[in-house]
A = this chain, B = another copy of it.
């Protein structure tokens, strides 16, 4: 039995507020929850007593007595976060306030199918938990991000183009054999958005996270919540057309931004530039390694290689053209760009910005900020942890 099985709705609301605002003082919590000060104090005292909260030291104050701040206690248990990419598996055991207790990353191939990948995941989790002196019974919840469209309620992938064998496979049932804790699954870029939302502690209500890697996807935060769409496929921007005369995409249409500006397109164009003798720098790299990666193109660009610069500028321009449509429609305050292609450096971002500001309406872009994701490569894992904790608390609330 989890240590919180007897919590009241008010206590759950308090834990949620503390989870979403690091280092909260009692006064701030009472304001935020619209509870009286005495009610807030008595709830907190009870939760401190049973070891679900702890005091985390003093917060700087503008004067008077410095207010003590609170955080979720390790006594609640641990969270499991999993960030499954098309070619990588990243696993962590986290404290309730998302501190990392143990972490492991390795290469993986999702095309091997769910039983192979998830069996490996179970083994890794057993090891990582043991490493922290924990067992499966200490796990509050599991949050897992996958590179494909997810039906959130059933925690199943739906027609995932990169993961054909996973269609409708019950990840939740499989992992439940190991954990009694609830398992939550979401699309990787939705989790990046959730991670940034948590980092911002509710400071932004309407923003986008674009992931540019093997594919191109978008996480949407609307009215302060991740928006998944009517069927869970919101943010599927990779197949927005940016050139009617563009190359054919695997989806059947022509000129999809993903087919023209994601990592495989960058690599293809770089290889073509070498074939045409346009880039001595990339030719050297291809000779040494046998392949060219997007990172190589980024490095070539930083060395002033003209072909690499052109490739990255064109890709950024096309991503910006897609984003201009999305910005006109959604009017976000911020667009955060993440994923592997951001490792190519600042030129891509500059080209995206130029293209968006040129094509979007002035009113939509007047206060628009476009930048690389502040959480960078950690966004997906942070999001997996946030998903686990948020849904575990929400679940409690619904079950009560």
Contacts and interface: CB of A to CB of B under 8 A. Distances in A.
Contact of A366 (B231, B330, B362): B231
Contacts of A324: 240-241
Contacts of A368: 230
Interface stretch (A118-126, A221-229, A306-314): A221-229
Contact of A359 (B220, B230, B253): B253
A332 interface: yes
Contacts of A359: 241, 253
Contact of A331 (B230, B241, B321, B329): B230
Contacts of A392: none
Contacts of A261: none
Interface string A19-40: 0000000000000000000000
Nearest to A151: B363
Q: Is the interface of A mostly helix, strand, loop or mixed?
A: loop
B332 A229 contact: yes
Contact of A230 (B158, B332, B358): B332
A317 to B, nearest CB: 12
Contact of A231 (B149, B207, B232, B364): B364
A244 interface: yes
Contacts of A235: 329, 331
Contacts of A331: 228-236
A329 B363 contact: no
A333 interface: yes
Given A223-B222, A223-B223, A244-B244, A363 B325 contact: no
Contacts of A358: 253
Nearest to A158: B363
Contacts of A116: none
Interface in A215-268: 218, 220, 222-223, 225, 227-237, 239-241, 243-244, 251, 253
Interface in A323-368: 324-326, 328-333, 358-364, 366-368
A69 interface: no
Given A229-B332, A333-B230, A149 B326 contact: no
Interface residues of A, number: 50
Interface in A171-200: none
A227 B234 CA distance: 15
B206 A229 contact: yes
A170 interface: no
Nearest to A253: B359
A115 interface: no
Contact of A225 (B223, B322, B362): B223
Contacts of A244: 243-244
Contacts of A329: 218, 220, 234-237, 240, 325-326, 329-330
B231 A361 contact: no
Interface of A: 149, 158-159, 205-207, 218, 220, 222-223, 225, 227-237, 239-241, 243-244, 251, 253, 321-322, 324-326, 328-333, 358-364, 366-368
Q: Which 8 A-B pairs have the closest CB atoms?
A: A229-B331, A230-B333, A234-B331, A233-B363, A240-B325, A233-B331, A222-B222, A206-B230
Given A233-B361, A329-B329, 7 more contacts: A228-B331, A229-B364, A230-B367, A233-B331, A234-B329, A236-B363, A253-B359
29 contacts: A149-B363, A158-B363, A159-B362, A159-B363, A206-B227, A206-B230, A207-B230, A218-B329, A220-B329, A220-B330, A229-B330, A230-B331, A231-B331, A231-B363, A232-B363, A233-B331, A233-B364, A236-B329, A236-B363, A236-B364, A239-B328, A239-B361, A240-B325, A241-B325, A244-B244, A251-B361, A253-B359, A329-B329, A330-B330
